[in-house]
Amino acid sequence: MPLFDVYPLYNVTPVSANGIHVYDENNTEYLDLYGGHAVISIGHAHPKYVEAITNQVSALGFYSNAIQNPLQVELADKLEALSGCDGYNLFLCNSGAEANENALKVASFKTDKSRVVAFKNGFHGRTSAAVAATDNPNIIAPINAQQKVTILEFNDIEGVKTELEKGDVCAVIVEFIQGVGGLDQATAEFYEQVDALCKANNTFFIADEVQSGYGRSGKFFAFQHYNVTPDVISIAKGMGNGFPIGGILIHPSIEAKYGMLGTTFGGNHLACAAGLAVLNTIEDENLIDNVNNVSEYFNSIAKTIPQIKNIKGRGLMLGLEFDFEVGDLRKKLIYDHHIFTGGASNKKLLRILPPLTIAKEHVDQFFKALKKELEAVEV
Ligand SMILES: Cc1ncc(COP(=O)(O)O)c(C=O)c1O
């Protein structure tokens, strides 16, 4: 049976990985500055992660959400402690889109409203409401287009005010650092005013931290660079280091009701074991400090390269903007230098999303290769 052909593929076949490296079938080593799309947080095949998953699957891999699962409680407690989101409640699911779908659902249930305000170049996933809130008409099917969504520009505070005062908006959803869109951020003033407007208009403020969360921005959550209090925070990618797990953190003022949300696989034993190993490693290895140190080092070198017109993002969620499209450069980096990087809807942007365990020597290796390719372009 052929695969449904929806992904354009690079001609690389990884068969194993370790730390910041991925290996193909010929044992060629690749430097992973993409982290499988910002997913690999604590590094590939981290021994504590492998041990936790192995032990858990031997004991109990899965049972449904109809029984006591102390691993969920342990995960929620650890997440509260490391994130500083005191008193928030955790609902577990399986992916980023599902996290946002549930976030929007809670907002709609609780406010009894249904329109969503989202932002230009935003990406929130491919399920019904999440994709409707995504600014990409190519991936919105007619069935999704039934949702009521208003897309505004970042920093258009008057627009947000006008829409929220109409009284029918259940949620404003935002990536504090845009991922797929190309690492744009609004101003602190804008985020803080949106937060205040949401609170004044019985509208939920949803922080989509699917990509920017779990330390990638240099704080546990990207919204923590600002003075805001989201009603719901969605999480996924870095949470399981590759094991499919997602979730939402729900503000303590929001009451749960039996049956309001639910899932078969979400929060299963194996996923919780993976999620706990990730949080323990982030703590034990001080990975958020590492993010800040390596980010500073990366930025200090990037600034010295004249062909880089703009450095975007924060922490280890970075974009290098050039004045040419980077498709060929990415191919050269993969095939000639064995370095994975990411692209964005902004075709001139090279995205850097490495495991949070990256060291300065890996940054040196990347810039050596990049400089060589940039020189070749100029010749
Ligand atoms: C900010 C953001 N939200 C949501 C999603 C969707 O996550 P998933 O692909 O796990 O459904 C993504 C995926 O790239 C994302 O970057």
Overall size of the chain counted in residues: 379
**What is the model's pLDDT at position 280?**
98
Ligand 1, atom 10, lies closest to the CA of 96
Percentage of the chain lying above the pLDDT 90 cut: 99
Q: What is the mean pLDDT of residues 13-17?
A: 98
Torsion angle in degrees (nearest 10) through CA of 247, 355, 218, 170 = -30
Ligand 1, atom 8, lies closest to the CA of 96
Beta bridge partners of 22: 17, 30
Q: Tell me the pLDDT tens digit for each residue of 198-222.
A: 999 999 999 999 999 999 999 999 9
Q: Which residues line ligand 1 (CB under 6 A)?
A: 95-97, 100, 123-125, 175, 179-180, 208, 210-211, 236
Distance 125 CA to ligand 1 centre (A): 5
Q: CATH assignment of 14-46+286-378?
A: 3.90.1150.10
Position 378 pLDDT exceeds 80: no
Percentage of the chain lying above the pLDDT 70 cut: 99
Every domain of the chain and the residues it spans: 14-46+286-378, 47-284
Residue 126 alpha carbon, nearest atom of ligand 1: 11
CA distance 361 to 21: 13
Question: Residue 376: pLDDT band by 50, 70, 90 thresholds?
Answer: confident
Distance 268 CA to ligand 1 centre (A): 20
Q: Give, for ligand 1, the residue of 126, 211, 263 to mutate: max count of ligand atoms closer than 8 Å to Cβ.
A: 211
Write down the pTM of the prediction: 0.98
**Chain mean pLDDT for the chain:** 97
CB 303 within 8 A of CB 311: yes
Q: What is the mean pLDDT of residues 146-161?
A: 97
DSSP annotation of 256 reads P
Ligand 1, atom 4, lies closest to the CA of 124
Amino acid at the residue 98? E
Distance 83 CA to ligand 1 centre (A): 20
Q: CATH assignment of 47-284?
A: 3.40.640.10
Q: Give, for ligand 1, the residue of 210, 232, 317 to mutate: max count of ligand atoms closer than 8 Å to Cβ.
A: 210
Q: Give, for ligand 1, the residue of 41, 101, 116, 124 to mutate: max count of ligand atoms closer than 8 Å to Cβ.
A: 124
> What's the distance, CA 230 to chain centroid?
16
Q: Tell me the pLDDT tens digit for each residue of 235-285.
A: 999 999 999 999 999 999 999 999 999 999 999 999 999 999 999 999 999
Distance 154 CA to ligand 1 centre (A): 19
**What is the model's pLDDT at position 377?**
73
